[in-house]
Chains A and B, each alone.
Chain A
Amino acid sequence: MKTSKNYLPLSFFLLVIASCGKDNPVANNITLHFDNTFSSTTIVLGDATSSTATVNTSADGQLHHFSELKYVISNIRLIKADGSEIPYNINDLDNGATVVDHSKPQTLDYILSNIPAGEYRQLKFGLGVRPELNTLDEARFPDFYAKAGANDTQMHWEWGTGYRFTKIEGFYDTDNKQLSIHTGSTVEGTNGEPDTYTQGVDAYRDITLTLPDNAVVGSNAPKITIKADFDKLLSGKTNTITLGEGNATPSTHAAVNMVLFVDNLGGDGSSDISGMFSTGSVEN
């Protein structure tokens, strides 16, 4: 008995080393870096007459550039090499959702903390908010509610009591007409389930990206660059859109034309599960 008691402090010490030491940590961070581009060029925002803004040309030949670019990412899941899925606060918008705002560099990096050590080969996330969480419930998620609703962010969709999923302001054609594309859900019940579905549009899109290299969480905290190519807004895999009087201005709140933009940005959920997103690089 005496002997074993003497060994206790040492074994405790070893245990601490094993679990918290630099060589073999049980968890670490992953940084998701969002690179918002037109094709391969990172977007520079600008007002109507800006000489520095990145100007893109659509498949239909329309010039356009943005003055504002925001979107909501939530429901993040990491898939290990063995196929197991690690959900990241998927039911907690305060700790598992973010507004990417291109005008605020600090929002382009979203840090996932305390991710279990291991190799990850796939990343899943949502563009927008799942219907069951999309209720502007300030009491439940005060931090995200406040962040999304700030005066310089404006990602509340008041009449629909949900969040805006994307908010793009800008200009198109050579005479710089206003473009204003907002997306969000109006769905009541579950789309595709006749027993529950009553009306509206579900603008949430689930994205699946396979990483070019496994992200190895352990002693390293990997950084995954996610490219969001806004060239797809008008020239998408699903729809080629020509902007005009009926769809370029906030009448797209109407949801009439919104789904075309939603499918281009976030995929149609069946044949296209990545939309405008792709993985640029994994830095381990």
Chain B
Amino acid sequence: MEQIAYDNPEIPLNVPQGFPSLNTSVDKNKPTKYGVELGERLFHEKKFSGNNTISCASCHNQSSAFADNNVQAVGIYGRVGLRNTPPIQNLAFMKFYNWDGNKLTLENQPLVPIITHEEMNSSILEVIGKISAEPEYKDLFRKAFGDENISADRIYRSIAQYEYTLFSVNSKYDKVKRNEGETFTESEARGYQIFQQKCAGCHSTELFTDQSFRNVGFPLNPSTEEAGRARVTGIPADFMRFRVPSLRNAEYTAPYGSFGQFPTLRAVLDYFDDGVLEADNLDPILKENGNRIPMTEQEKDAIIAFIKTLSDHHFVGR
């Protein structure tokens, strides 16, 4: 039978004004129409888990900005993971992935949940075996990669391509910035002003994270597995440092903190106001301010009002 050749055009990733440049891996794995289509399909594929119950989307749920609302991630058989599920948005602009930055390219990430006991508890050959039995995948892989071969590398690349396209850049904040006819309320405008004084030292750039790793004195995860960034680098000064999270769509990603220490945004701000845990490597910004970020109740209201302008209703589909 004659093979149908598919036109598989590249999907251009246009870097919005003010955003950092793309992760250099994007150049080596440029999203294509059918690569992304396959990646999206695989992202929702429950056969990735040992008992066919968990897909990537089980924890990375679009309506929560591709995070979830559990304290810590819940995987196969209800097993609870070490950390809070991070949202998947604007990852093409990130240099580090996960709370501790252990992965530097998205293509290297999907294997972790596939094999982790508390997540999908499977193996890549098991996954390939299961999806190879589904005739529709043959077609999807052929469209995306030119032939029907289902390989680990193609699975990783197509999922990464899909993730690269998940831009959240259409919040009220973005529309105000781009002069698209929206304006901040009085409270949001005041919140933006206070945010720039008290938060933007870390939650900077249009990603609302400077992508640094910091110990901000949050309550410590009691698991002996946890060491923050030091788990990766082996550097004692990195102990319990975590990647500064983006605040885009934070309204949808409660609870907060590396293991969901805080049920609400208000609880996070109250904690900073009351004072954080002392540590040798506590962030200098906090050390210089008596281990706290003082805020009045009105200021907290305003900051939260501003953070909610970072919600991208279109992106989360609600």
Contact = CB atoms under 8 A, between A and B. Distances in A.
A158 B112 contact: yes
B234 interface: yes
Interface stretch (A23-31, A43-51, A121-129, A245-253): A245-253
Given A139-B125, A161-B108, A253 B225 contact: yes
A199 B230 contact: no
A158 B151 contact: no
A186 B112 contact: no
A156 B234 contact: no
B102 A254 contact: no
Contact of A256 (B101, B112, B239): B239
B125 A186 contact: no
A75 B210 CA distance: 41
Interface in A212-262: 249-251, 253-256, 258-259
B268 interface: no
B232 A199 contact: yes
B225 A251 contact: yes
A200 B112 contact: no
Given A138-B125, A158-B115, A250 B224 contact: yes
Nearest to A201: B234
A258 B224 contact: no
B227 to A, nearest CB: 3
Contact of A249 (B112, B224, B230): B224
Contacts of A7: none
B234 A255 contact: yes
A92 interface: no
Contacts of B101: 199
B152 interface: yes
B236 interface: yes
Task: Point out which of A142, A159, A186, A201 has the most chain B C-beta atoms below 10 A from its C-beta.
Answer: A159
Contact of B231 (A136, A137, A198, A255): A255
A251 B224 contact: yes
Contacts of A137: 152
Interface in B140-183: 151-152
Task: Point out which of B112, B225, B232 has the most chain A C-beta atoms below 10 A from its C-beta.
Answer: B232
B160 to A, nearest CB: 14
Nearest to A256: B230
A133 B234 CA distance: 21
B104 A156 contact: no
Contacts of B227: 251, 253-256
Contacts of B116: 158-159
Contacts of B247: none
Contacts, number: 77
A119 B125 CA distance: 42
B112 to A, nearest CB: 6
Contacts of B112: 158-159, 161
A188 interface: yes
Contacts of B231: 159, 186, 253-256
A160 interface: yes
A243 to B, nearest CB: 14
A159 B117 contact: no
B233 A139 contact: no
Task: Point out which of A149, A160, A188, A254 has the most chain B C-beta atoms below 10 A from its C-beta.
Answer: A254
Task: Point out which of A250, A256, A258 has the most chain B C-beta atoms below 10 A from its C-beta.
Answer: A256
Contacts of A201: 233-234
B26 interface: no
Contacts of A186: 102, 231-234
A161 B232 contact: no
A201 B233 CA distance: 6
A255 B117 contact: no
A159 B102 contact: yes
Contacts of A142: 125
Interface string A247-284: 00111011110110000000000000000000000000
Given A136-B111, A159-B102, A161-B111, A255 B233 contact: yes
A49 to B, nearest CB: 22
A138 B123 contact: yes
Contacts of B117: 158
Interface of B: 101-102, 104, 108, 111-112, 115-117, 123-125, 128, 151-152, 224-227, 230-236, 239
Given A136-B111, A138-B124, 8 more contacts: A138-B125, A156-B115, A160-B102, A161-B111, A161-B115, A186-B231, A255-B233, A255-B234
6 contacts: A138-B123, A138-B152, A149-B115, A160-B102, A254-B226, A254-B227
Closest 9 CB pairs of A and B: A254-B227, A255-B234, A201-B234, A158-B116, A249-B224, A254-B231, A251-B224, A250-B224, A256-B230
